[in-house]
Chains A and B, each alone.
Chain A
């Protein structure tokens, strides 16, 4: 199902249990490289994945995600979205993707998001597609990409902000998938509105409270 252009389900090879398989370096490297290759070809862009940068991004991503995994049960759907946004942050921070326009395609127009910032657009498309697949595989309702995604100002703002602080890719990602963003501490899952609300109200279990207590020390 392709709901919007930005979600490229038809370009990514379907595999089961993606949420767990993507947490292994070998699978991640292959999946990312083939995904970016397919997506970029679709848009007539020549893109490359830097293997060494991808490995650094992977370990940085998975360690940060794993360190907060006890929050996964608090709001699993939001935690999965957090994982997708965190991956985007790391792909941009480590400059994993490099891209060049390959010619006279219409999207070479710098007034389109992909023409303006091809690396960012490809990374967002990949992460959003992975998120879409994982949500479906895990039995959750998927997201509706926000209309702001087609607004070049949104992409301009995201690129400028991410150049200063790559962690800000995460709240921009949340905006794009219709989530309430966490601008202040984007890398902390317990500060995300959807998780924080559960923690501070009815959903908080002992383990989650203990996690908060440790974090706040």
Chain B
């Protein structure tokens, strides 16, 4: 697992560099922009080399194969795989497997949610997502129930994996721009509740509808965090809204 942590750390550093370079290339035009674009591609290449290199040493990069990523949906895609991986966290037998699966799947979901919210350039620390996974593991066993999604959402908010975003030219009052960690965690929790209620639904559709809901009535979702029992209130709201989605 030290290899795994090291690899994630290196990847996070490279992600941070790529984020900065993408930002710079948007700000600069002409030669400077071209150079930063090239450097960004270089960072991408290094990141994939790190992946390959660590795989060749037998690092358990992927979540455990049995059960995880089972092609149980017709619309099997990366996001669908992430949802399936989260479903299968309930079967993870030890912390490392759980954290690994949690880190991969939630990282993919965060990226997808931000993308759906119109944020194309963001720096997400996978190390922080794994921290959230450890916090969830430490509480109790995971059962792919709405309360697990609320617990994970709170853990993600605490870990704040979204370190930086390049705000798109849209309404700055947008909850995904104001509070990207909070809004993404809420949207993921809601999307998973929808996916659980409607297993035939496409994962993309669940995520898209959850982003719309959090964006349409952010005050309702944010209000759950101010309650004495935020996890319970959030679960109740996820359950209520999942009836109206996707």
State whether the Cβ of B215 lies closer than 8 Å to any Cβ in chain A: yes
Q: Judging by beta carbons under 8 Å apart, are A25 and B209 in contact?
A: yes
B177-211 toward A: CB 8 Å interface, digit per residue (1/0)?
00000000000000000000000000001000100
A59 an interface residue at 8 Å Cβ cutoff?
yes
Q: Are B216 and A23 in contact (CB under 8 A)?
A: no
Contact status of A55 and B245, CB under 8 A, knowing A26-B205, A26-B209: no
Query: Does B103 sit within 8 A of A, measured CB to CB?
Result: no
CB of B205 within 8 A of CB of A52, answer no
Q: Are B244 and A62 in contact (CB under 8 A)?
A: yes
For residue A200, CB closer than 8 A to chain B, the reply is no
Q: What 1/0 flags go to A40-76 for Cβ under 8 Å of B?
A: 0000000000001001101110110010000000000
From residue 199 to 231 of chain B, which have CB atoms closer than 8 A to chain A? 205, 209, 212-213, 215-217
CB atoms of B246 and A56 under 8 A apart: no
Tell me, yes or no, whether A150 is within 8 Å of chain B by CB: no
Contact check: which of A25, A52, A62 meets B246 at CB < 8 Å? A25
**Which residues of chain A have C-beta atoms less than 8 A from B240's C-beta?**
63, 66
Question: For chain B, what secondary structure do more than half of its interface residues adopt (helix, strand, loop), or is it mixed?
Answer: helix
A89 CB to nearest chain B CB (Å): 17
| B72 beta carbon closer than 8 Å to chain A | no
Asked if A24 is at the interface (CB within 8 A of a chain B CB), the reply is yes
Asked if A55 and B216 make an inter-chain contact with CB atoms under 8 angstroms apart, the answer reads yes
Chain A interface category by residue count: 10 to 19
Residues of the B chain whose Cβ atoms lie less than 8 Å from the Cβ of A60: 217
CA A66 to CA B205, docked complex, whole Å? 23
Query: A138 vs B240: C-alpha distance in the bound complex, in angstroms?
Result: 25
Q: Main secondary structure on chain A at its contact with chain B?
A: helix
Smallest beta-carbon distance A101→chain B, Å:
29
Q: In the bound complex, do residue B205 and residue A59 qualify as a contact, i.e. CB atoms below 8 Å apart?
A: no
In the complex, what's the smallest C-beta–C-beta distance from A87 to chain B, in angstroms? 13
Residues of B contacting A59 in the complex (Cβ-Cβ under 8 angstroms): 213, 216-217, 241, 244
- Among A24, A52, A56, point to the contact of B244 (Cβ < 8 A): A24
The answer to whether B215 and A24 touch across the interface, beta carbons within 8 angstroms, is no
Name B243's contact: one of A26, A52, A55, A66 (CB within 8 Å).
Answer: A66
Report yes or no: B215 in contact with A52, Cβ–Cβ below 8 A. yes
Minimal Cβ-Cβ distance residue in A for B205: A26
Residues of B within 8 A of A58 (CB): 216, 244
Question: In the bound complex, what is the Cα–Cα distance between A106 and B217 (angstroms)?
Answer: 40
The answer on a CB contact under 8 Å between B244 and A23 is yes
- B13-40 contacts to A, CB under 8 A, are none
Whole-angstrom distance between the alpha carbons of A55 and B217 in the complex? 9
Instruction: Using CB atoms, name the residue of chain B closest to A94.
Output: B216
Q: Is the CB of B243 within 8 A of A25?
A: no
- Verify A56–B243 contact, CB threshold 8 A: no
Cα(A60)–Cα(B245), bound, Å: 14
B242 to chain A, nearest CB (A): 10
In the complex, residue of chain A having the shortest beta-carbon distance to the beta carbon of B201: A26
Nearest-neighbor residue (CB-CB) of B171 within chain A: A52
User: Closest chain A residue to B210 by CB distance?
Assistant: A25
Bound Cα distance A55, B216 (Å): 6
Is A24 within 8 A of B246, CB to CB? yes
Report how far A24 CA is from B205 CA in the complex, Å. Answer: 12
Enumerate A63-107 residues with CB–CB distance to B below 8 Å.
Answer: 63, 66
Excluding A24-B244, A26-B209, A59-B216, 20 further A-B contacts by CB distance (< 8 Å) are: A23-B243, A24-B246, A25-B212, A25-B213, A25-B244, A52-B215, A52-B216, A55-B212, A55-B213, A55-B215, A56-B216, A56-B217, A58-B216, A59-B213, A59-B217, A59-B244, A63-B240, A66-B240, A66-B243, A66-B244
Contacts from A to B (Cβ < 8 Å): 23-26, 52, 55-56, 58-60, 62-63, 66
10 contacts between A and B (CB under 8 A): A23-B243, A24-B245, A25-B244, A56-B217, A58-B216, A59-B213, A59-B217, A59-B244, A66-B240, A66-B243
